[in-house]
Amino acid sequence: MVLADQSGKLECLSVIAKIGPHFRICCRAESPASMDSLPLSEDCLETIPIKDPILALSGQKSSQVEEPDPQVDLSLGASGPALVGEIFMVPVTVVSKGHDVYSGELKINLVDVKGGGLFSPRGSEFSMDSHHVQLLGISGPERVDESQLDSDNIKKIQQSFGLISVPLLKNGDSWSCKLEIKWHRPKPIMLYVSLGYAPYRDDVNSQKVQIHKNLQIEGHAAIEIEHRYTVPFRRDPLLLSRKNKASESDQSESLPSNEKSLLIISAKNCTEVPLRLQSISIEAEDDTIEKIQRGDKELSNPALLVPGQDFKKVFSVISNMNISKIKPGSVCLRWRRDLGEEEHSVSNKTVPWVVTKQKLPDMDVELPPLIVSLECPPYAILGDPFTFYINTLNQTQLLQEVKFSLADGQSFVLSGSHNDTIYVLPKSEHILSYRLVPLATGLQQLPRLSVTSVRYSATFQPSDSSTCVFVFPSNPNFKTAASSFNTLESVVNE
């Protein structure tokens, strides 16, 4: 019987049998072809580690010695896709099912599925770290008996490689750890985990038994952030830069100076798992913005965002008058995966919030020469006339000639001049009034207004949403919360 210490090719050159101190028999191995005429009268035992009994009786000169079958189970687990920004946990479990584990080592490798690599030399332009995917650490079980750890315990962590020692495991024992991986870019990776161990205590220096497992993990962006600026309701400034650059596709945003503008931030859940949104805030870079109404940084109750749902928050921005460009800063979001029923039972310290930032583009600031404001009641009554005001503010030191054009509408009867030219004095305001009678109920479009500045040869119109009013068939009876409370209080007193 022949025992091999390592796997590989085993070649038999000769066999020497010693009988007593002075007698030896030497037999040189030959090829099977030269042994056809030799009778095989003796019983042959199964040769080990050659598993095939036919090879043992054929007299083959060389054979391939295989590695012993591993009797240890290695499993990888992951809950859904990984999200950019969060620390993604991958549980790794080692279970002994026959072999004892001595001098065990766990090797971890992260490989790009598409072969482009996980490192970008220009990554610092977008994030603090240039690695798209990082292996942050390997966390073992919460309670580990130090007597089970080897004296030469190894733990090495790099950006895409890790090595950790596995403690001594007897037959039936198990050991687990968690891989902490963080995505900085949406990228699919292949996770390779290899376990090498010696099944016998006395043979720790011999060739180890190897177990290999791999798992593909998709990395997706969690939240899509969008923003847009808008002017206050029914207040439209004339911005000459937008008129002059209307044909250019790369024009920058422009805001009126010394005026309140609205910044609407939209956060959309673009994953397949529900998320919890804790806060949306803006981190300003400088003091060029005179005021940003941030509101409460944290929501009273974290908002639940199901897949595909978006959450909007409105900020008011007022810029200084003596600047030409402002840097709004960055939008800062705090979110995490929805924990379901465990949302209230798990501490915030155990499941940290993820911070996602996105820089807002710079905006040009200019003084609008004209500002047109519309004033009308919040609602109208069918058949009841109301007054519609058009206010024109001249913010320049020059006399402004402004032409107005008011189109007829099917839902209103309009009294007054449909086309008119007015002259607005410097640093003053001019008011036009029209009498309207509603003819239909529901949300109706007011007569379309067109304003033209003769000096700047610029025409602009208020948006459709700002020229709509709801018409009721009769005078509505609105009950406020205060009136309902007073009614309830009077009933209780009676």
Residue 491: per-residue pLDDT: 39
Give the angle subtended at the CA of 185 by the CAs of 358 and 105, to the nearest 5°: 135
- Judged by phi (left if over 0) then psi (alpha if -120 to 50, else beta), residue 8 lies in left
Query: Is there a shared CATH topology between the 72-143+151-220 domain and the 370-472 domain?
Result: yes
Domain ranges for the chain: 8-65, 72-143+151-220, 224-366, 370-472
**Could you tell me where the beta strands, DSSP code E, fall in 284-406?**
289-292, 303-305, 310-319, 325-326, 330-337, 354-359, 363-366, 370-375, 379-381, 386-394, 400-406
Assign domain 224-366 to a CATH class: mainly beta
- What's the CA gap between 387 and 398, in Å, rounded? 30
Residue 249's pLDDT is what? 44
What digits encode the pLDDT tens for the residues 368-381? 999 999 999 989 99
What are the pLDDT digits (tens) for 314-360? 888 887 767 778 888 889 999 998 877 655 555 545 678 999 999 98
Architecture label for domain 72-143+151-220:
Sandwich (2.60)
Place of tokens 């009841």: 384
The CATH code belonging to domain 370-472 is 2.60.40.10
The stretches in the chain having pLDDT less than 50 are 33-48, 123-128, 143-151, 247-251, 295-296, 348, 484-485, 487-494
**pLDDT at residue 267, rounded to an integer:** 93
The CA R_g of the chain, rounded to the nearest whole Å, is 40
| Tokens at 271, concatenated | 């994953």
